[in-house]
């Protein structure tokens, strides 16, 4: 009997470990809900099942462990790729709550020891989720920037440049700066400086997609351009830093794979993001003009969100130029999400 119980125990531990130690990509971020109160969110891409809980450890700037907690899985969604040879990926969502004491040096959070559950063409190393938050006592409070949802366009045709929207929405209206970084590799101690991945032969920090490839990001809007001549999945990591009054106060990182396949632009549905959009004047008293480059008879959906994520306006139109009257809304920062077919982009506007 004891032997049977011991075997069951070992199997349960192995099962939990095998589930909790695999992932494809994702991000971690904090949302401040009150004085010293936070919600924590972890969003991860996987090809298989996932554990009901994920551990997050929180450190101060001296690399001292402050606390750890287990986030509970809330939901699971899927990305169904438009190209038939690519399997769907599951997006798992975990969340939890925590109270953090005031601390002038702020905190950083990690969720580590994740094996990449695929064999990336360009990197060797584990997967790590990380974010940085400032002192909870910071004037006005602070929530991390939140990356837009994973697009359905995490695939691209070899040798063709493709555009991806990895922008963030910041609920506090802070200034955001984007960059491509060398992905972190899950360390055993979870302290800074973090270890990073090892590039495989033919790849480097300048070009994460190899010889003849393209990898660049618009530092002001998070729009990423990529191209690869090689099939397979390639890892890319985007850092979004937030600044308030010219001072950096936090950062989040999206570490995500992009599938590269042999195809043509005609065989792959175009999921590129919208680019040619003008909103003016901005700031304004609530009267805006929106100019969208679109083909005739193509529906454009426009949604507006407050800084706390509440949808405050919805409209749909077919024309290229539209007048938008938001004078009934309170003064402040808002985010416009514009969708044309399966192309999505987010812009910030200010009502003064």
Q: Are 220 and 177 in contact (CB under 8 A)?
A: yes
Spatial separation of the C-alpha atoms in residues 275 and 155, rounded to whole Å: 19
Tokens of 50: 């996932």
Q: Percent of the chain having pLDDT more than 70?
A: 81
Q: How many CA atoms lie within 13 A of 84 on its CB side?
A: 1
Alpha helices in the chain (DSSP H): 2-20
- pLDDT level of residue 7 (50, 70, 90 thresholds): very low
Tell me: pLDDT of 65 over 60.
yes
Per-residue pLDDT tens digits for 152-182: 567 777 888 877 878 888 888 899 999 999 9
Tell me: pLDDT of 10 over 70.
no
Per-residue pLDDT tens digits for 236-258: 999 999 999 999 999 999 999 88
Angle at 293 between CA 290 and CA 297, to 5 degrees: 100
The boundaries of every CATH 2.60.40.1930 domain in the chain are 277-351
Is it true that domain 277-351 has CATH number 2.20.140.10?
Answer: no
Per-residue pLDDT tens digits for 83-103: 555 555 788 899 999 999 999
Candidates 272, 75, 306; CA nearest to 169 is 306
Spatial separation of the C-alpha atoms in residues 11 and 9, rounded to whole Å: 5
Tell me: pLDDT of 207 over 90.
no
Tokens of 337: 């999400």
Query: In sequence order, what are the beta bridge partners of 217?
Result: 224
Angle at 12 between CA 8 and CA 16, to 5 degrees: 170
Per-residue pLDDT tens digits for 140-152: 899 999 998 776 5
Average pLDDT of 326-339?
86
Specify the CATH superfamily of domain 22-261. Answer: Immunoglobulins (2.60.40.10)
The boundaries of every CATH 2.60.40.10 domain in the chain are 22-261
Residues 6+ apart with CB under 8 A from 61: 105, 106, 107, 108
Q: Are 342 and 269 in contact (CB under 8 A)?
A: yes
Tokens of 133: 């938050």
- pLDDT level of residue 19 (50, 70, 90 thresholds): very low
Query: In sequence order, what are the beta bridge partners of 162?
Result: 226
Q: Are 238 and 180 in contact (CB under 8 A)?
A: yes
Average pLDDT of 339-344?
66
pLDDT of residue 37: 96
171-174 contacts, C-beta under 8 A, 24 or more apart? 171/31, 171/143, 171/146, 171/307, 171/308, 171/309, 172/140, 172/141, 172/142, 172/143, 172/242, 172/244, 172/307, 173/307, 173/332, 173/333, 173/348, 173/350, 174/142, 174/145, 174/242, 174/243, 174/244, 174/249
Per-residue pLDDT tens digits for 275-324: 567 889 999 999 999 888 765 567 788 888 776 667 788 888 877 788 89
> What is the torsional sign of CA 280, 283, 284, 288?
positive
Say if pTM beats, i.e. exceeds, 0.85: no
Tell me: pLDDT of 4 over 80.
no
Torsion angle, alpha carbons of 9, 67, 196, 227, to 10: 90
């Amino acid at each position: 009997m004891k032997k049977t119980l011991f075997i069951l125990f070992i199997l349960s531990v192995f099962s939990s470990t095998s589930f909790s130690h695999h992932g494809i990509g994702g991000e971690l971020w904090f949302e401040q809900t009150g004085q010293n109160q936070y919600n924590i969110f972890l969003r991860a891409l996987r090809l298989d099942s996932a554990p009901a809980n994920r551990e997050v450890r929180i450190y101060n700037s001296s690399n001292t462990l402050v606390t750890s907690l287990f986030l509970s899985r809330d939901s699971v969604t899927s990305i169904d790729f438009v190209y038939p040879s690519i399997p769907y990926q599951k997006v798992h969502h975990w969340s939890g709550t925590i109270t953090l004491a005031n601390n002038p040096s702020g905190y950083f959070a990690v969720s580590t020891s994740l094996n990449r559950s695929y064999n990336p063409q360009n990197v060797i190393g584990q997967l790590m989720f990380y974010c940085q938050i400032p002192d909870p006592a910071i004037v006005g409070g602070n929530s991390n920037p939140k990356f837009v949802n994973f697009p359905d366009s995490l695939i691209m045709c070899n040798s063709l440049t493709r555009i991806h929207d990895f922008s963030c929405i910041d609920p506090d209206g802070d200034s955001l700066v984007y960059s491509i970084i060398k992905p972190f590799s899950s360390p055993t101690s979870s302290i800074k400086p973090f270890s990073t991945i090892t590039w495989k032969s033919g790849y480097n920090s300048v070009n994460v997609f190899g010889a003849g490839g393209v990898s660049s990001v618009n530092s002001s809007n998070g729009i990423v351009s990529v191209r690869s001549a090689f099939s397979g999945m390639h890892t890319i990591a985007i850092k979004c830093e937030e600044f308030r009054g010219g001072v950096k106060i936090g950062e989040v990182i999206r570490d995500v794979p992009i599938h590269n396949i042999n195809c043509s632009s005609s065989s792959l549905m175009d999921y590129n993001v919208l680019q040619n959009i003008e909103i003016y004047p901005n700031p304004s008293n609530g009267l805006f003009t929106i100019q969208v480059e679109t083909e005739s008879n193509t529906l454009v959906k426009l949604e507006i969100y407050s800084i706390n994520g509440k949808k405050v306006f919805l409209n749909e139109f077919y024309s290229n130029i539209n007048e938008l009257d938001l004078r009934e809304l309170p003064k402040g920062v808002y985010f416009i999400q514009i969708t044309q077919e399966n192309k999505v982009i987010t812009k910030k506007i200010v009502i003064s």
